[in-house]
Amino acid sequence: RKEVEQDPGPFNVPEGATVAFNCTYSNSASQSFFWYRQDCRKEPKLLMSVYSSGNEDGRFTAQLNRASQYISLLIRDSKLSDSATYLCVVSSASKIIFGSGTRLSIRP
Binding residues for another protein (CB under 8 A): 31-32, 34, 36, 41-46, 49, 87, 89, 91, 93-101
Question: Minimum CB separation from another protein for residue 108, in Å?
Answer: 24
As measured in angstroms, the least distance from the Cβ of 47 to another protein is 10
The least distance separating another protein from the CB of residue 101, rounded to whole angstroms, comes to: 5
Give the integer Cα–Cα distance in Å for 20 and 62.
10
Closer to another protein by Cβ: residue 13 or 97: 97
Shortest reach from residue 28's CB to another protein, in Å:
14
Q: For the chain, first and last CA: distance in Å?
A: 37
CA distances from 43 to 29, 82, 85, 101, 102 (A): 27, 16, 11, 13, 15
Rank residues 22 and 49 by Cβ distance to another protein and give the closer one.
49
Considering the complex, state which of residue 40 and residue 108 has its C-beta at the smaller distance from another protein. Answer: 40
CB 72 within 8 A of CB 52: no
Nearest residue (CB) to another protein, 49 versus 69? 49
d(CA 91, CA 11): 26
Element (H, E) at 98: strand 96-98
